[in-house]
Amino acid sequence: MSGELVLVTGGSGFLGAHCILALLNAGYRVRTTVRSAKREADVLAMLKVGDAEPGDALSFARADLMNDKGWPEAVAGCRYVLHVASPFPPGVPKHEDDLIVPAREGALRVLRAARDAGVERVVLTSSFAAIGYGQTPVAGHPFTEENWTDLSQKVSAYVKSKTLAERAAWDFIAAQDGALELAVVNPVGIFGPVLGPDHSTSTDFIRRLMDGEMPGLPRMVFGVVDARDVADLHLRAMTNPAAKGERFLAISGDFMTMLEIARTLKARLGNAASRITTRVLPDWLVRIVGLFDGQAAQIVSELGKPRNATSAKARRLLGWTPRSREDALVATGESLIRLGLLKKSK
């Protein structure tokens, strides 16, 4: 604290903006990367929605995950780096390398720059995607940080990109002399207050539900965590000595079915949730749709699986105490209403 400088990559993203807010509230100075100067206004607008007017406490650096240019300047003078930036499109990429290469090479680019600049610790935002896929989940046995996604099995491009990027980061650190430290945060689906129209794939799922764009709910389960709590976990992993060389799952409680999510929103948001369906789609119908729709095809293998995970490690080692799943979901819906991001009722 006391004005120490922290780099946040991808500050124009949903989680990146929440990390900036958490750092500013804790008294840090923040530098954040954007790919173009046009995005600086977007970052400032999101921070304003989050009740922050950073002034001189925030600065910007121009850098891209696919280019070495700008990264030495971005990390200069920083004690810590939160590497949050990573591609996560809502649809199916034309080629898996469109996700894998920026995720893996971007992580290595940031780590090299951090090492060369004498950064003390990098906190990498990975994902549950790097932990709980390519294997058969067993009811009563939640995934932990000891698990790794099995890439010898068929998994989505996004899952593969997060797994390969995190593996590459740990391999990089293992090959160093030990001066640069690494900690990793592995969130499940990140929800919570959106700060502008350009939010995330997870929060857009809530928007689609509330706008009545989903005629039915596949039999799937999701992990839920609030972006504010994920940001808090990043800060704890950044400074706590116990976090060195560790992974931390970020999840608020047991996974929820899509039906449970829908019912939670309808119970807590009243008329604003009137367009949310509670109709559960039969698996056979989702499979048929998956023959013609790439996004539906990605979820077919997840239908009916009893996936779960635990954040016991983060709670025990770092004293992390997240909000409830229900509060995270409702905060998403309330912010979509507040910012006028839902369709107008007829």
**38 an active-site residue?**
no
Angle at 276 between CA 273 and CA 281, to 5 degrees: 165
Q: Look at residue 213 and give its three-state secondary structure.
A: coil
Contact (CB, 8 A) for 277 and 215: yes
Q: Which residues of 109-138 are buried (b: 16+ CB within 10 A; e: fewer)?
A: bbbbbbbebebbbbbbbbbbbbbbbbeebe
Angle between helices 258-269 and 201-210 (to 10 degrees): 60
d(CA 74, CA 59): 10
Residue among 38, 94, 160, 162 flagged as catalytic: 162
d(CA 207, CA 195): 13
d(CA 249, CA 184): 9
d(CA 298, CA 316): 34
Is the backbone of residue 192 left (phi > 0), alpha (psi -120 to 50) or beta? left
177's CB contacts (< 8 A; 6+ apart) are none
Give the Cβ contact number of residue 324 at 10 Å: 13
Tokens found for residue 80: 């810590």
Closest CA to 59 of 69, 80, 73: 73
Q: Look at residue 124 and give its three-state secondary structure.
A: strand
Residue type, 222: F
Residue 219 has φ and ψ, to the nearest 5°, of -80, 75
Active-site residue set: 162
